[in-house]
Structure 1
Amino acid sequence: MSLLKKLFSKKEKEQAITSYQDFWDWFLLHEKTFHKVVASGDSNRLSKEFFDVIGPKLDQIKKGVFYLSGMLNDTTADLILTPDGNLKNFYLVEELVAASPKLPNWKFQAFKPNFGFNDSGIEMYNYKFSIENMYFYAENDQEYPDEISITIVHNDLSEENKSEIINGCYIFLDNYLGELKFATLIDVVHFKRKEEATQELVSLDKLDSFLTWREKEFVEKYEGLRRDTENDNYGSFETTLKNGSPFMAIMNTDLLNWDAKASHPWILRLKIPYDGAENNGFPNKDVYQLLNDFEDELMLSLKDEQGYLNIGRETGDNLREVYFACKDYKKPCKVTDQIIENYKGKLEVDYEMYKDKYWKYFNNYIQ
Structure 2
Amino acid sequence: MKFYRTIFLLMLSLLGCTATASPEADFWLWFQQNEDEIFNFESNQEVVFDKLAARMQKINPSLTFEFGPKEGRMRDFVISADGIKDAFPNVEKLYAAAPELKKWKVIKFRPRREPFDIKYQGISVQAASVTLSIARDGSKGAITVLIPGYTESKHETYAGIAFLLLDQALGEYDVETRVGAIDVAAPSDRYRQICSLVDLPKTFDELLGR
The TM-score with structure 2 as length reference comes to 0.77
Q: Which residue of 2 aligns with 1:148?
A: 141
- Partner residue of 2:24? 20
CA distance in structure 2 between the aligned counterparts of 1:88 and 1:176, rounded to whole angstroms: 22
Matched, 1:86 2:84: yes
Counterpart selection for 2:134 from 133, 138, 151: 138
- Whether the aligned pair in 2 keeps the contact of 1:152 and 1:190 (CA below 8 Å) is yes
User: Cα 1:103–1:139, aligned 2, differ >3 Å: closer, same or farther?
Assistant: closer
- Matching residue of 1:53: 51
Q: 1:168 maps to what in 2?
A: 161
2:26 equivalent to 1:29: no
Identity of aligned residues (%): 21
CA deviation profile, 1:305-343 (whole Å, cap 9, x unmatched): xxxxxxxxxxxxxxxxxxxxxxxxxxxxxxxxxxxxxxx
Asked if structure 2 preserves the Cα contact closer than 8 Å seen for 1:18 and 1:61, the reply is no
Deviation by residue 1:259-310 (Cα, 9 ceiling, x = unmatched): xxxxxxxxxxxxxxxxxxxxxxxxxxxxxxxxxxxxxxxxxxxxxxxxxxxx
- What does the per-residue CA deviation read over 1:237-274, in whole Å, with 9 as the maximum and x for residues that have no partner? xxxxxxxxxxxxxxxxxxxxxxxxxxxxxxxxxxxxxx
Q: Give the whole-Å Cα distance in 1 for the aligned partners of 2:51 and 2:176.
A: 28
Partner of 2:209: 216
Counterpart Cα distance in 2 of 1:139 and 1:57: 41
CA shift digits 1:91-135 (9 cap, x unpaired): 211221222122222222211111213xx43333241241x2111
1:281-320 to 2 correspondences below 5 Å:
none
Aligned equivalent of 2:119: 123
CA distance in 2, matches of 1:136, 1:87: 24
Per the alignment, residue 97 of structure 1 pairs with 95
Once the 2 structures are TM-superposed, how far is the Cα of residue 19 of structure 1 from its aligned partner? 3.0
Unaligned runs of 5+ in 2: 1-17
* Long gaps (5+) in structure 1: 1-14, 218-367
| 1:205 partner SS | coil
Q: Give the residue type in structure 1 aligned to 2:45.
A: L
Partner of 1:314: none
**Shift in Å, 1:20:** 1.8
Count of aligned residue pairs for this structure pair: 191
The match for 1:201 is: 194
- Is the 1:153–1:197 Cα contact (8 Å) retained in structure 2? no
- Given that 2:139 and 2:178 are in contact with CA atoms closer than 8 Å, whether structure 1 keeps it comes out as no
SS at match of 2:110: coil
Question: Which whole-Å CA distance do the structure 2 matches of 1:58 and 1:164 have between them?
Answer: 29
Does structure 2 conserve the Cα–Cα contact (< 8 Å) formed by 1:85 and 1:183? yes
What is the aligned partner in structure 1 of residue 177 from structure 2? 184
